[in-house]
Structure 1
């Protein structure tokens, strides 16, 4: 499973999301910062942090908790 976490450089919600992902023991993921990326800013600007499963394209928007992450990843 290829995961991407869309986030911003200075985003306290993104920091919280990282902690939730760690607690959920999510597999490795790529962090993509949307700052200064017009297309990503337009798509995710008000939604970050967003966890995306790259192949299927499904997305989990903030706010999410450990249970939501595990369900999203099929870890239950």
Structure 2
């Protein structure tokens, strides 16, 4: 799965009541990257994801390359990640 018809698909791995996750989403929304679709996934809903990301959230993952961008990140880092 690479780019969808609407653009690049990104997954934001989050957790319940995760303030850092809210900050990460705000950075994404501030950049408002064109041709991207953001899917939020609560790692608590998937035991395999919980074990993989529990200490790392928030994490953005690209669907086309599998590359991950972990918190903390800023707009410049996000732009480079999406390039």
Same fold (TM over 0.5): yes
Runs of 5+ unmatched residues, structure 2? 1-7
Contact 1:24–1:67 under 8 Å retained in 2: no
Higher strand share: 2
Shift of 1:36: 3.7
Encode CA deviations 1:19-43: one digit per residue, 9 max, x unaligned.
1001111332111110142100111
2:29 paired residue number: 22
2:5 paired residue number: none
For the aligned residue pairs, the C-alpha RMSD in angstroms reads 1.0
Are residue 3 (structure 1) and residue 3 (structure 2) matched?
Answer: no
Query: 1:38 is matched with which residue: 29, 32, 47?
Result: 47
Asked which structure has the greater CA Rg, the reply is 2
Runs of 5+ unmatched residues, structure 1? none
Q: How many residues align?
A: 74
1:73 paired residue number: 82
